Structure 1
Amino acid sequence: MNHVTPLSKWCVVGNTPIPDLAPLARSADLDGLHAYYRGPDGAVLPDGPFALDIGTLTLHQSTRHEDHRSFLRVEPETVTVRVSPLNEDPVYYAVNRLRGLFAYFTDLLLAPLVLPALGKSVEFTHTSPVHGTDTPLLGVRRLPYGVLTRTQLRGGETWLTDASYEYDPLAGFRAPHRDDPLSAGEAQIKALTAEIERIDRTTPDGIRYATLLSGGIDSGTVTYLMATSGLSVTPYSVGTPWGDELADAAELCAELGIGLEPVQLTEDQIVASIPEAVRWLGVTEPEVVEVALTATTVQRLGAIPEDRVLLTGYGSDLINAGLYRPYDHRDDLIEQVLTAVDRTRYSNELSNRMPLAYGTTTHHPFWSWPVMRVALETAPECKVREGREKYHLRAAMGTRLPEPIAWRRKIAVHHGGGLQQGVIRRLEKETGTEERGRFYAACFAELVLRVAGGELEPADPWSLFEAAVRRVRDGADGR
């Protein structure tokens, strides 16, 4: 495996020229608005008004609200941004109210190039985010979920912004009504099957698929549904120095009659991915960064061919789980799920920024709204029963797979505890502190410094890693 160099994709729209972006992107001027765009596959903006799908950064033909997508639309003297209630792919904004300048942008790491054009300096907050719309940079905010903003030139000289908010769909799931585990599991499998069929309909003919397969029920269900639907799918399973689930993944593949591609990652390969994980997430919360390390390392090393469309089981833990604690009240388990989903709307864990940069297409079927809706309609006593999490999904898959596979007790090794603890030990040794959040903040600070110096794309990972270590040891970690 070799390190693959990413090329970030993004769009910036503001009411002032941003000279530092001009050499990096295609640009267009529309009646007082300046757009800078670096889309996939050399995509170009039309000469006139346009709308972009934020998730794919492709021209957006429809701006319907019911499809739960985010879009950015530019018309003469007007910028409209709509953020999905799921909020997977962020849109940031910065303003200088004294000078009447503003900019919307889809990549937080562009801030060092955008802020000076607005007459603002680049400064770190030095504190942990208080709200999901906060960022590590002063004066840069993330648009909240479910918002529709319209910034418009009034009277030929004043830009004013109006904002309206959609009803939060999560608010309707505090009284889940699906109370039979098997039927709830079957309903979710039906929704997952429909989502996989939708993905296949929108995928060019002849494209092959891949899954990230662990020993868990989530990626196992996605892999099973794809294989039994007749799709050409190759599962990839990751092993680390701290453990693997290759045998469990191979057992499912043998049942399905398909091959398994093992991906062995070293400790150095994983920790070298930390700066890049921080770069694509745009957040520095330790648990979020650590969860993202497996996918980041797989992408960074090109472990899965870029011509394959990747499907994952990510998102299922959020909508289907709930910590099993016998003394928990039913409402506590409902609240756990809703809180986890709400938090993920700001974590960027399921953002499309990294796949776009690597030219890969990635889908998370569990994080599609039809699947989420079924899961959120399912009572917690169906999800957590007899000491088993995702009981309903296992019950349904148990009618399709042998009992040892459907009801396997997963031991977290690389997506969870094993990898996380291994990384923590390595960072404590490198930095001399148990406060690993300082190291992640230092990675972000170093990335910002590099962008300000003209280096937008992550280059040598060890150079970034070692610079962040020095920042922590010198007390200059950006917090």
Structure 2
Amino acid sequence: MAEARETDEPAADPGADAVRDRTSDRASAPVSGRSPIPSGAWVVVSNTPIASLDGLAVLTRLGELYLYRRNATGLDGRTAGLDLDVRTLRAVPAVDLLYSAPSTRPAFIRVEEDAATVVTSMLNEDQVYFAAERVSSRFAYFTDLFLSALVLPALGLAVELGDTPRSTAGNETLVPWVERLGHGLVHESRRTRRGWITKEVRSADLLGGYRQPSRHHPLKAGRRQLEALGAVIGSSLGESANCATLLSGGIDSGTVTTLTARQGRTVTAYSVGTPWGDEFAEAAQLCRHLGVELRPLRFDADDFVLSLPDTVRWLGVVGAETVEVALTMATVQRLRAIPENLPLLTGYGSDLVNAGVHGVDATHAQVTEGVLRSVHETRFSNELNGRAELAYGRQIHHPFWQWPVMKVALETAASCKVREGREKYHLRTAMQEYVPHEVAWRRKIAVHHGGGLQAGLGRRLARDVGEQPREALYYACFRALMADAGRGLLDPLEPARIYDEALKLVAAASP
């Protein structure tokens, strides 16, 4: 193997924006007085040098490959026998490549002398992007879509963003020439005597085996899901005695909070309120029952507005529903509302696997297909990726989106999930053994509807963009962020400036 050569680590970016302390008549927890400086973690593997990355990343040469890494750890000047976990960007011992068996392991990248291989998981939460100029055979794999602004010119490709987002399907991205690698792939580019050859092998879809669910007893199915959740929470937290949960008034985050507290850990629950409403009272009821401390967090309208650039930055997509679902977590992260040393657990993902979004009037067949479709769509939405976690240095766990829990949910028949006019019937039935009946059977509110966020945000944004669709503003944020990236300004973000630039782009594109 060729000897690895490295440059020095780039210096950390200085400075931080001040934010206001917030209080409420419900004794909200104070928000930290300083915003964090997000320092993006990413990796690029290319068979051509990318001069614009010099100074932004550590460079390692391996034969004819160039490995650029920012805040990736565990390589220590070598890559032999190591895989780079895309979610954590930590090097882990290499495993045998399986070209046909579906894998639920997080995506990873293997860089050898003159060969780069990406293996994506069946759920594909964490994205890896690929761009290639076919005539010259120049290519690059990279883990941050906004690096396109620096990578594409090095490949001889133009960065072409129009005034309106291009129509995309499947693994297409908003950036022409750049694709998001699909689920269940082994994607390899290797140097041969004939030049660089890229091949792709797709394994059978893991979801295909769950069209005929096998669990038909609601209480037993619910109990089994709680067992799986408890085990996942335990393995995720390890020896951590203290942790935090993001708690709404619903059953999903309530279940995670309950099971975590029952493990004997010290849990602090945080509930987010908006200018348009909150679920503090509902969260407090469960916390009193569990003996868990509740810290309400109330954000104002501008807190959410100024978190839109961060949300778009870490998602790389601009669909209104996806952005607004992710906005609460982005705001919590951006304003450091929860101490970074506390691992954070959420109830995200339960709606999708436990039929919380398909309606109680759907047929059983429609519910089953809807669940599988919802899981499949997350393979492209980036909504459960770990980019923000890497940037802000926080551990976030979504127990409902871990395969042992999802497997039980997919095995559970629709007749258990939707019954007697209620969704998540099996989960509620099992949870009423641990929480008050009112908590177990409280009507569900989606995360972006709780506290009136989506409706209130829509009214607030209308003041700035009039009748333009919200996606137009989110895409304008995307364009402003890409312009910054093209100048090497990947982080820290300047949300107020980016938002103002996005408003100008929206105005310029308006008829």
TM-score, structure 2 as length reference: 0.89
1:24 to 32, 36, 56: 56
* Stretches of structure 1 lacking an aligned partner (at least 5 in a row): none
Q: CA deviation at 1:435?
A: 1.3
Work out whether residues 412 and 418 of structure 1, in 8 Å CA contact, stay in contact via their aligned partners in 2: no
Paired position in structure 1 for 2:400: 366
1:148 matches 2:214: no
Return the offset for 1:322: 4.5
Deviations 1:107-139 (A, max 9, x none): 001111111111111112644443221111110
Residue of 130, 141, 145 corresponding to 1:104? 141
| 1:190 and 2:227 are equivalent in the alignment | yes
Instruction: Give the secondary-structure state (helix, strand or coil) at the position aligned to 2:427.
Output: helix
Aligned mates of 1:31, 1:370 — CA distance in 2: 40
- 1:401 deviates by 1.3
Displacement, 1:433?
2.2
1:285 aligns with one of 319, 343, 368: 319
Instruction: Assess if the C-alpha contact under 8 Å between 2:350 and 2:356 holds in 1.
Output: no
Match runs of 1:102-251 below 5 Å: 102-124=139-161, 126-155=164-193, 158-201=195-238, 205=239, 208-251=242-285
The count of aligned residue pairs is 472
TM-superposition CA deviations, 1:332-390 (whole Å, max 9, x none):
11111111111111111110000110000111100001100100111112111111111
Answering whether residue 352 of structure 2 is matched by residue 318 of structure 1, we say: yes
CA distance in 2: counterparts of 1:390 and 1:267, whole angstroms: 32
Q: Distance in 1 between matches of 2:63 and 2:95?
A: 22
In 2, Cα distance between equivalents of 1:131 and 1:68: 25
What SS does structure 2 have at the residue aligned with 1:72? Answer: strand
2:336 corresponds to which of 286, 302, 305: 302
User: Which residue of structure 1 aligns with residue 497 of structure 2?
Assistant: 463
One-letter amino acid of the counterpart of residue 109, structure 1: F
Q: Secondary structure at the match of 2:225?
A: helix
Query: For the Cα contact (< 8 Å) 1:244–1:413, is it kept in 2?
Result: no
Mapped to 2, the partners of 1:278 and 1:116 lie a distance apart of: 23
Give the Cα–Cα distance (whole angstroms) in 2 for the partners of residues 303 and 99 of structure 1.
48
- Answering whether residue 454 of structure 2 is matched by residue 420 of structure 1, we say yes
Measured in 2, the distance between the counterparts of 1:43 and 1:22 equals 21
Residue of structure 2 in register with 1:446 after alignment? 480
The corresponding residue for 1:55 is: 87
Deviation for aligned residue 1:25: 1.0
Cα distance per residue 1:249-285 (max 9 Å; x no partner): 1111111112111111110101111111001000011
Kindly state the Cα deviation for residue 48 of structure 1 after the two structures are TM-superposed.
Answer: 4.3
1:6 paired to 2:38: yes
The CA deviation string for residues 180-208 of structure 1, in whole angstroms up to 9 with x for no partner, is: 1101100100110110111133xxx4562
8 Å Cα contact 2:83/2:92 also seen in 1: yes
Which residue number in structure 1 is paired with residue 25 of structure 2? Answer: none
The aligned amino acid for 2:303 is: Q
**Do the aligned partners of residues 274 and 326 (structure 1) sit closer, same or farther apart at CA in structure 2, a change above 3 Å counting?**
closer
Indicate the larger mover: 215-224 or 118-127. Answer: 118-127
Please say if residues 279 and 451 of structure 2, whose CA atoms lie closer than 8 Å, have aligned partners that are also in contact: no
Distance 1:79 1:285, change over 3 A: same
Per-residue Cα deviation, 1:284-314 (whole angstroms, up to 9, x for no partner):
1111001111000000000011111111100
Partner Cα distance (1:257, 1:459) in 2: 39
2:278 touches 2:450 (CA, 8 Å); kept in 1? Answer: no
Please state how far the C-alpha of 1:43 moved relative to its aligned partner. 5.1
Please report the RMSD computed on the Cα atoms of aligned residues, expressed in angstroms. Answer: 1.8
> Structure 1 length normalisation: TM-score?
0.95
Deviates more, 1:118-127 or 1:226-235: 118-127
**Corresponding residue number in structure 1 for 2:69:** 37
Kindly tell me: are residues 209 and 181 of structure 1, through their superposed partners in 2, closer, same or farther at Cα, counting changes over 3 Å? same
Give the secondary-structure state (helix, strand or coil) at the position aligned to 2:310: helix
Distance between the aligned counterparts of 2:61 and 2:336, measured in 1? 37
Q: Measure the CA separation in 2 of the matches of 1:468 and 1:183.
A: 51
C-alpha displacement of 1:62: 3.9
Contact 1:324 1:387 in 2 (8 A): no
CA–CA separation in structure 2 for the residues paired with 1:199 and 1:72:
23
Distance 2:78 2:315 in 1: 32
Cα distance in 2, alignment partners of residues 323 and 459 from structure 1: 34
Partner of residue 388, structure 2: 354
Contact preservation (8 Å) 2:278, 2:452: no
Return the letter of the residue paired with 2:114.
E
Would the aligned equivalents of 2:88 and 2:386 in 1 still touch at CA under 8 Å?
yes
Work out the CA distance in 2 between the residues paired with 1:213 and 1:413. 10
SS of the equivalent of 1:35 reads strand
- Counterpart residue number, 2:20: none
Could you say which residue in structure 1 is the equivalent of 2:435? 401
Structure 1 residues 391-449: Cα deviation after superposition (integer angstroms, max 9, x where no partner): 10000001111111111123457555821111111222201224111111111001000
